């Protein structure tokens, strides 16, 4: 049987999972692909540690068991790129800087397929990478770049091609969902839930990209291209993280029959696409409200097939590794036929603040008679219909209450807040917290 030869650059958590699956499932993968998939080289700066951690043969590693310098790693990378017998390179080094971009482009320019889980790289340099893919007739497998083991990329590119996706919403980051789940279920503070996420290995020592919305922002940028053919600069995508979510926000959400989730959201109206990553109050009737722990979920709202939800593990060595292996098998089986141009359209990204949406607004005010009426009147003056008003939560110096609106724009809400500040200076003790409500 002919063989399809694979090399791995970077054998940490994900790369190790890929290697383990390729070796353990060698016969099964060959039967499915109709060609033997052979792992021939692994490049990692710390071969001995990687080999021991993942239970991989040390002889597969470039340089044997010796630790590699950056210069040596660069030399081995060149050897792999110039080896015409290698058909595909798995990039699991990570990062989105120029050095990683150069490696990805070089893989394709040397006539090899590329498989990667690097969502930051694709979000920031997608046009360059897919341009090189088309130019060289070599494919890029990136199923693992969005929600790990969930087959959302293949679902969009293959399963829903007979339909039209009108909107998508999803929990695209397991770390943030783990933190919010702990805050809701156990009443933990944000800091306590974050520490537990780090202790459990869900959050890095520096969890910035997970909690500030950057990681799900990268994934949403990729999905916007796949679903709507929309080229978005990552920096132009409106993103908010979960750092400001408090126990009070969780309590208000529970009173309204909601859970707080960090949601990646996009909706198409005509040629306009409204997209954002931010915390939302998700109604209990929406399946996303029930997604707990480090699980990911993506909901697609389609013209013909209606609601479809894909749920699964969004991270992990073997979980993410399995998605990369599925790409390897697909490319081994179909080769150049697997090269697909990404969709392109005339859609434009519009400010999410211009989209009519339900919102919950939390006001912290001076504890004076009539303050709720003052706030409600200002909201009504902006032609915003009010759904519910919570009970005031008094302390010796202020009152805290929330108002849930019917669909309106963020711009309308800001105008109402400006009216309150202008007509009753000093009545608002803090900037009101405005959180969208995601319904059914």
**DSSP sequence for 77-109:** HHHHHH-TT--EEEE-S---SHHHHHHHHHHHH
Distance between CA atoms of residues 195 and 16, nearest Å: 26
Catalytic residue among 20, 112, 124, 219: 219
Q: How far apart are CA 209 and CA 230, in angstroms?
A: 23
The alpha-helical segments, DSSP class H, found in 161-246 are: 174-186, 190-199, 208-211, 214-228
Q: How far apart are the first and last CA of the chain?
A: 52
* 219 in active site: yes
Contact between 56 and 42 (Cβ < 8 Å)? yes
Estimate the crossing angle of helix 13-24 against helix 317-334, to 10 degrees. Answer: 60
What is d(CA 297, CA 169) in angstroms, rounded to the nearest whole number?
9
Three-state secondary structure call for residue 336: helix
The structure tokens 């009173």 sit at 255
Check residue 59 and report its DSSP letter.
Answer: G
With beta carbons less than 8 A apart as the criterion, state whether 304 and 164 touch: yes
Query: Structure tokens of 424?
Result: 């009753």
**Burial 178-197, CB ≥16 within 10 A → b, else e:** bbbbbbbeeebebeebbebb
φ, ψ at 382 (rounded to 5°): -95, 15
Provide the residue count of the chain: 440
Residues with catalytic roles: 219
């Amino acid at each position: 049987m002919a063989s399809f030869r694979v090399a791995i650059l970077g054998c940490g958590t994900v790369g190790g999972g890929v290697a383990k699956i390729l070796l353990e499932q060698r016969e099964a993968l060959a039967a499915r692909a109709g060609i033997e998939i052979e792992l021939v080289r692994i490049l990692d700066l710390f071969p001995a540690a990687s080999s021991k951690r993942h239970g991989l043969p040390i002889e597969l590693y470039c340089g044997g068991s010796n630790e590699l310098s950056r210069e040596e790693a660069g030399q081995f990378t060149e050897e792999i790129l110039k080896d015409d017998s290698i058909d595909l390179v798995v990039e699991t080094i990570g990062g989105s800087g120029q050095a990683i971009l150069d490696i990805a482009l070089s893989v394709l320019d040397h006539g090899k397929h590329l498989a990667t889980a690097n969502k930051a790289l694709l979000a920031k340099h997608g046009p360059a990478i897919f341009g090189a893919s088309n130019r060289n007739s070599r494919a890029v497998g990136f199923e693992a770049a969005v929600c790990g083991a969930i087959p959302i990329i293949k679902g969009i590119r293959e399963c829903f091609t007979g339909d039209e996706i009108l909107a998508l919403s999803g929990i695209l980051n397991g770390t943030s969902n783990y933190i919010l789940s702990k805050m809701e279920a156990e009443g933990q503070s944000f800091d306590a839930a974050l520490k537990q996420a780090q202790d459990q290995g869900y959050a890095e020592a520096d969890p910035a990209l997970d909690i500030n919305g950057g990681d799900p922002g990268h994934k949403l940028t990729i999905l916007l291209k796949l679903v709507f053919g929309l080229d978005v600069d990552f920096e132009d995508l409106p993103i908010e993280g979960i750092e400001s979510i408090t126990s009070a926000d969780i309590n208000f959400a529970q009173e309204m029959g909601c859970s707080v989730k960090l949601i990646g959201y996009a909706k198409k109206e005509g040629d306009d696409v409204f997209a954002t990553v931010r915390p939302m109050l998700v109604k209990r009737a929406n399946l996303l409200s029930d997604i707990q722990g480090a699980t990911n979920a993506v909901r697609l709202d389609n013209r013909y097939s209606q609601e479809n939800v894909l749920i699964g593990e969004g991270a992990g060595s073997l979980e993410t590794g399995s998605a990369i292996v599925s790409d390897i098998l697909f490319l081994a089986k179909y080769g150049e036929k697997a090269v697909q141009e990404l969709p392109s359209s005339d859609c434009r990204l519009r400010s999410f603040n211009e989209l009519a949406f339900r919102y919950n607004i939390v006001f912290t005010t001076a504890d004076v008679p009539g303050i709720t009426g003052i706030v409600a009147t200002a909201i009504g003056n902006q032609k915003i219909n009010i759904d519910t008003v919570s009970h005031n939560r008094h302390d010796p110096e202020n009152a805290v209450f929330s108002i849930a609106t019917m669909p309106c724009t963020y711009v309308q809400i800001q105008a109402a807040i400006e009216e309150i500040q202008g007509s009753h200076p000093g009545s608002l003790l803090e900037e009101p917290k405005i959180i969208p409500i995601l319904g059914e």
